[in-house]
A = this chain, B = another copy of it.
Amino acid sequence: MLTEERFARILSILESMGSVTVQQLMTELDASESTIRRDLNALAADGQLTKVHGGAILKNAAYGTTDDEVLHRRERNREAKMTIARYAAGLITAGDFVYIDAGTTTDLMIDYITDKNAVFVTNAVTHAKKLAGRGFTVYILGGEFKAVTEAIVGEEAVASLEKYNFTKGFWGTNGITRERGFSTPEVKEAMVKQKSMQNCKQRYVLADASKFNQISSVTFAPFESAQIITTGLGQTAFKKCKNVIQI
């Protein structure tokens, strides 16, 4: 079996089980202890999982320690993201029926929303909690619940989007290019983003400068299909695009 294939299967098993032992992987992948250990070390070094005595657990499932790396990465673009989030939140007005996509940038938005007369739909459990906690009416999509991202994705989620017609919607993205549009690494997530955008009148993608000229695995919408809210673009060609709102 190919090394990369083992990597993929280890991650897949981990994804579905939450944790896995070296012994389990030995029998499951029919490989030696040494090989499994090497694989786990490689994946851990790459930040794909957390090694523990006896096996491995999902990255975010580490019981105690606060993930320093994620925390730091979040910190990095915080200022830019906050500015974007504040602007986006300001776009919501009374009577709006708003879709908010899962993700860290959209999460920030919620703190800045003031108008109490809007109704929200989201596929992120954390967003739903936050919105409901602030007194908004919130609907959540039905479908497969993913532990890692705490978001609802897949066919079911897409189906439950069918009935909604949003006035405004806000999405995150991993990559933006003129040719390949907006892209994200997960197929199931992409399906939800795509469908939710289709049923939305005014579409806004929130993206800091780092997302431009990146292409991720799955495109969920063409470049022109949404207004892009961003900050600090240098002298790139994107500045001149009609649908780029630079704050």
Contact = CB atoms under 8 A, between A and B. Distances in A.
> What number of copies of this chain does the assembly contain?
2
Interface in A1-38: 2-5, 7-8, 11, 16-19, 21
A63 B4 contact: yes
A69 to B, nearest CB: 18
Contact of A2 (B3, B8, B57, B139): B57
Interface in A137-172: 137-147, 150, 152, 156-157, 160
A53 B3 contact: yes
A16 B144 contact: no
A241 interface: no
A3 B145 contact: no
Interface in A169-205: none
Interface stretch (A81-89, A92-100, A124-132): A124-132
Given A18-B134, A156-B139, A4 B57 contact: yes
21 contacts: A2-B19, A2-B52, A2-B57, A3-B53, A3-B54, A4-B52, A4-B63, A8-B63, A16-B135, A18-B134, A18-B135, A43-B63, A125-B125, A125-B129, A129-B145, A129-B150, A131-B145, A132-B145, A139-B142, A140-B142, A142-B160
B147 A139 contact: no
A41 interface: no
A146 B160 contact: no
A61 B147 contact: no
Q: What DSSP secondary structure best describes chain A's contact surface?
A: mixed
Contacts of A18: 5, 8, 133-135
Q: How large is the interface on A (under 10, 10 to 19, 20 to 34, 35 or more residues)?
A: 35 or more
B134 A145 contact: no
Contact of A129 (B57, B134, B147): B147
Contact of A4 (B19, B46, B145): B19
A16 B64 contact: no
A61 to B, nearest CB: 7
Contact of A144 (B61, B134, B137): B137
Contacts of A133: 18, 61, 147
A93 to B, nearest CB: 19
A62 interface: yes
Interface string A102-133: 00000000000000100000000100110111
Contacts of A3: 52-54
